[in-house]
Amino acid sequence: MVNESQEKQLCHVALIMDGNGRWAQRHGVSRIEGHKQGAIAVQKLIESASEFGIKYITLYAFSTENWKRSREEVNGLMDLLKEFIDNNLEHLQKNGIRLLASGRIEQLPEHSRESLKNAIKLTADNTSGTLILALNYGGRSEICDAAKKFAHDVVKHKIDIDELDESRFRDYLYLSEVPDPDLMIRTSGELRLSNFLLWQLSYAEIYVTDTLWPDFDRDEMKKAIDGYYQRERRFGGRG
Ligand code: IPE
Ligand code: IPE
Ligand code: MG
C-alpha cells in the first residue's frame, strides 16, 4: 500500500513540447529556427531538472504523425536530433543522466539513429536521472506493438492468454520499467494528447500553459511543479 506522500512525490514529468512553429512565426524566422530554439529550451530544462528532484523526464520530440510535415522540416528535425545528442552527451555523462528512447526508433534516419543508440549505450549505467526522448512515438503504435509482442509470446507458449492483466500487458510496452508520469505538461495551449503515452497518462495530472515551447524555462517549470503539489490525486478512490 502506497502512502499519500509517496503518491504525491513527483518522480516522472512528461512534456509535449509544442509551439516551435508559432514561436518562429511570431519572430519572423523559419520553422527550423523555431525548432533550434526549442532544442536550446530542452538543454536548459535538463540543466534545471536535478534542482526539482525529478527522476524521469519524457520529452515528446517527434510523433508518428509528424512525418506528415514537409520533407524539409522532417529532415531539419532529424538533423537537429543528432546535433542535440552530440552537443549534450558530455553534459549527460557529467551529471549522471541516462538517456533512453521510446518509439519506433528503427524507422529514424541512420545518422540520427546511430547517434542516439551510441548515447543510450554510453549513458546506460548512469543513475542520477533518466531522460527519455519520445521519437517516432505514437501511443496507438505502442499499444499495437505491445499486442503483437504478446500474441507472439502466446504462439510460442511463453504466456497463456488468460494470464494477461494490466500489469502483464504493461511489460510489453516500450519502456515498461519506467514508472507512469505523475505530471504531463503541454506548452502552447492545445488541450489534447496528440497520441502521447495513452496508456501511461491514465492518472497523470495535466498542466497546460500558453507559453510556447522555446520560451518554456526554469520558472515555467517551477510553476507547473508548484501547481502539481497543490492537486489532490485520488486515483479513483476516497469516494
Ligand atoms: C513542436 O512544435 C515540435 C514538434 C512537433 C516536433 P510545432 O512544430 O508543432 O509548433 P506549432 O504547433 O506549429 O506551433
Ligand atoms: C505533438 O505536437 C507532438 C510533439 C510535440 C512532438 P503536434 O504539434 O504534432 O500536435 P498537434 O498536431 O497539434 O495535435
Ligand atoms: Mg504543434
User: Alpha-carbon dihedral of residues 196, 198, 200, 204, nearest 10 degrees?
Assistant: 80
Residue with cell 506548452: 187
CB atoms within 10 A of CB 79: 15
Whole-angstrom CA distances from 131 to 26, 55, 67, 89, 169 are 30, 9, 23, 12, 23
Which residue has the least CA distance to atom 3 on ligand 1? 18
pLDDT of residue 6: 56
Report which ligand 2 atom has the smallest distance to the Cα of 213: 5
Span 107-118, pLDDT tens digits: 999 999 999 999
Which residue has the least CA distance to atom 13 on ligand 1? 21
For residue 31, pLDDT over 50 is answered with yes
The 3-state DSSP composition of the chain as helix, strand, coil percent (nearest 5) reads 50, 15, 35
The one-letter amino acid code at 8 reads K
Question: Which positions ≥6 away from 144 have C-beta within 8 Å?
Answer: none
pLDDT of residue 141: 98
If one residue of 18, 40, 68 were mutated to test the ligand 1 pocket, choosing by the most ligand atoms within 8 A of its CB, it would be: 18
pLDDT confidence band for 7 (50 / 70 / 90): low
Span 155-195, pLDDT tens digits: 999 999 999 999 999 999 999 999 999 999 999 999 999 99
Span 36-80, pLDDT tens digits: 999 999 999 998 888 999 999 999 999 999 999 999 999 999 999
At the fourth CATH level, the homologous superfamily of domain 4-138+181-229 is: Decaprenyl diphosphate synthase-like (3.40.1180.10)
Distance (Å, whole) CA 49 – CA 57: 8
Going from N- to C-terminal start, the domains of the chain cover 4-138+181-229
Distance (Å, whole) CA 96 – CA 152: 36
**Residue range 1-13: mean pLDDT, rounded:** 71
Q: How far is the CA of 194 from the centre of ligand 2 (A)?
A: 6
